[in-house]
Structure 1
């Protein structure tokens, strides 16, 4: 007996509808089946199974990003994640699909909806249907940014884009005017650093163009979203590339403002930075670019001080973490050659060879220089959240294709310089490290974050390594290093405290005077 099934039922089976294939085990299909040379023949059970598998694979292929070149948001590589899983896992808030269903993050969903409502009611003339409509247009393109198949259905994915996107926009736009709102827990100084920490995790990202498209519904200004985002992020980064040069017109203007309000030094420093970054200072107050005192070699347009316009990566940022990397790395820096000596001496050893240490003029990770015996390194603020940021930036460089992996190279360089708490203390004294964790933890920090990291074949600072190696191995500098080493041994062995050293000096002086007196007496007798 033949049982006839039409092609629609076969497609339903291939689409995942649970139909027991056993009922077709001994069944053949006839009538409107395939035709070859004018006659029809039966479809076997094996051909039905093949068709089911084919259509299932084709459905999965449709969900896969069309080209790996579009990948920008990745899962952290398993070897890196296993070293310290908590460094890559959100604690308070999920952004994007990777941690969307994590139970411990569900309480924040209510706050995300509340900020979404505030954004629509208070800041925008657009409506929720407008946001949904816009996100439906770009839904497929947004999926292409993720390095794995996102199983969320279209409506669920669009819902996530709207809620997470508007939540991020309200954080970015509202940071300046709502941070003093005591009734708003999201913007207070306890929650916000932890939220920022989650927003800068590699697995916790939305494509940046999602924010741009939502922002364009709010305000038709493509560049201002970058300016607002930069201002927002700079308050939480381990350093800022915004430098105020001594004696410049803006500096004198800020000093005048400070004298009016009698603010404390710590407050005035923060207020100056916020004032200069957040406001478009007019030339009639600050003077023309030519009046600004710029370090030699820098034009007013490229100076780290004269950055009143938002910094926008070429081609735009892929997501928030990618934009943070751009803010911390100079895109104009050159990759060094591939020559690297076998050994790099630590900071205390280099100092013995008369190498001096100083902070760079900027705090960009790429701004490491060695000239005339002075090693300049960007200053960095180290606290409990810095490790998470560095780990995720390095994880991004491990997965994404960049011309130069500057964050990884910076971590390698600092790991070479720091071997002990004494090295940390030396860099602290030169204000290169601003440390809020204990010395032992910081001494091991850069080594720990490089475990399981594949280091690039071409180090960005290889020319610095070679120059330092050449300087250290100069015969005169090697002699000075040995003298310092022997003096250190004498000090640790014989002069364990100040009084021992004073006694030695006194005894040496007394011995000298005795010898001089003896020589004088001998000369007088003759």
Structure 2
């Protein structure tokens, strides 16, 4: 006889077979004392039946894993610890995760006006427009629902709650994006005023990881030509917001390098894709060439002491970072950023997206051929870690400003900038490929060129004294020279 085993906390029914009678039966009994649910097993579970339970759960998770990159993810606990400034919408909810919060109810009225504008702009009769537009959203609502967190969706009814939510949220996003097109004059005047008044808040909210609408819902409006909004084209504009620069022609040409990566799950994914760009640097050392010791704390001042110059990269793309070594000099290059609280939120949420949406399964095999050697899949995490590593004191922040890596007026103060990046070092932001590669290169340079590094360090620390001495010597030499010339 087989030994009976107990499997706690797996309320999944086995499929009985004709030859296998030993399966378990579940009865859920409500507990009035704790308000929880208890599971009573009427029969013991055999090892064979237990294996089928685990197998079924494994298949279920495998199916979910195959669509992992497309899902509407939740924040990791470490990102959530950064606070509501970076994780909770301030004016509008998009999707179910923050829907119904008291301080977001004003925007629900705006969504109704957005729906009215969409209907008027569709070019159809109102009743026909409502029916066709709503049907278009409902036709993809099943796919959209599967992309959200199951626990969140458990209490949300389709017809009463989810379908209208998707419709209104899509109308709101479409109208907000139409502000940048020749359709802007057709937006309802009240809605135009609402967008203008809360523009920065809306920008903040629609790029939160937990405030995203699946791409398929936005694309459902594409058949209505006046409402067809290209998420890719709209996302390009965020480059100028974050870095005061446009998308490079190289990146436009590189868009064809990966249809998978170019087809992002939501607006945040597209914005990150265009801001990250492509890493064109070559790996300076092979995988067998590693530094003896790796230091994960090298400030901007310490780099200057070693004779390593900090310099803005040739492009503003976040993946364009690395290390260059000359005969008697070296430089660490990375893109600049105009940092304020809005842009800080962009960085946090793009990093959160990278952390939660790592390619897996078949998609990982495909994307690894295109990205794993270059590091674009964790470029924002690498950038945040590298820039944060350079800051130990406010003096380091001023050094970065002097090197034009931190730009723009009206942004964060030196202390606020230091506090922001220090807070990121305290959470589990992934140390990406580009970060590790750059740190390795710095350490290898430091070890191979230690004599030159020491000479630079001596000069950097004593250059003011030496300059003063040289100035005094030059002055005295001039005086003595003048005296000798007079005597002669």
Query: Structure 1 length normalisation: TM-score?
Result: 0.66
Q: Which moved more, 1:212-221 or 1:91-100?
A: 212-221
The verdict on how the C-alpha distance between 1:144 and 1:78 changes in structure 2, with shifts beyond 3 A counting, is same
Alpha-carbon deviation of 1:231?
4.5
Following the alignment from structure 2 to structure 1, what is the Cα–Cα distance between the partners of residues 259 and 282? Answer: 21
- Counterpart in the other structure of 1:345: 298
Q: How many residues align?
A: 400
- Counterpart in the other structure of 2:364: none
Structure 2 portions without partners, runs of 5+: 1-17, 19-23, 31-36, 40-56, 360-371
- Counterpart in the other structure of 1:468: 442
- Counterpart in the other structure of 1:409: 382
Alpha-carbon deviation of 1:123?
4.3
Higher relative contact order (CA closer than 8 Å, sequence separation 6+): 2
Does residue 440 of structure 1 match 2:448?
no
- Counterpart in the other structure of 1:396: 353
The verdict on how the C-alpha distance between 1:361 and 1:332 changes in structure 2, with shifts beyond 3 A counting, is closer
The verdict on how the C-alpha distance between 1:131 and 1:417 changes in structure 2, with shifts beyond 3 A counting, is same
Q: Is the 8 A contact 2:231 2:270 kept in 1?
A: no
The verdict on how the C-alpha distance between 1:353 and 1:230 changes in structure 2, with shifts beyond 3 A counting, is same
Matches within 5 A, 1:72-151: 72-125=71-124, 127-149=129-151, 150=153, 151=155
Alpha-carbon deviation of 1:80?
2.5
Alpha-carbon deviation of 1:480?
1.7
**Misfit runs of 4+, over 3 Å:** 46-55, 123-126, 176-183, 217-221, 231-241, 304-315, 331-341, 470-473, 504-522
- Counterpart in the other structure of 2:158: 154
Query: Structure 2 length normalisation: TM-score?
Result: 0.71
Measured against aligned partners, the alpha-carbon deviations of 1:81-118 in whole angstroms (never above 9, x if no partner) come to 13323320001000000111111101111111111211
Following the alignment from structure 1 to structure 2, what is the Cα–Cα distance between the partners of residues 477 and 49? Answer: 72
- Three-state SS of the structure 2 residue aligned to 1:370 is strand
Out of 207, 210, 219, the position equivalent to 1:203 is 210
Does residue 327 of structure 1 match 2:284?
no
Out of 305, 312, 315, the position equivalent to 1:362 is 315
Alpha-carbon deviation of 1:147?
2.8
Alpha-carbon deviation of 1:397?
2.0
Does residue 452 of structure 1 match 2:427?
yes
Matches within 5 A, 1:473-512: 473=447, 474=449, 475-488=451-464, 490=465, 507-509=472-474, 511-512=476-477
Q: Is the 8 A contact 2:354 2:381 kept in 1?
A: yes
Matches within 5 A, 1:115-264: 115-125=114-124, 127-149=129-151, 150=153, 151-155=155-159, 156-177=161-182, 178=184, 184-188=192-196, 190-218=197-225, 225-243=230-248
Following the alignment from structure 2 to structure 1, what is the Cα–Cα distance between the partners of residues 477 and 260? Answer: 69
Alpha-carbon deviation of 1:418?
2.2
Measured against aligned partners, the alpha-carbon deviations of 1:474-521 in whole angstroms (never above 9, x if no partner) come to 112321221211235x48xxx9xxxxx5xx777534543576689999
The verdict on how the C-alpha distance between 1:165 and 1:96 changes in structure 2, with shifts beyond 3 A counting, is same
Q: Answer with 1 or 2: which has the greater Rg.
A: 1
Q: Which moved more, 1:198-207 or 1:509-518?
A: 509-518
- Three-state SS of the structure 2 residue aligned to 1:175 is coil
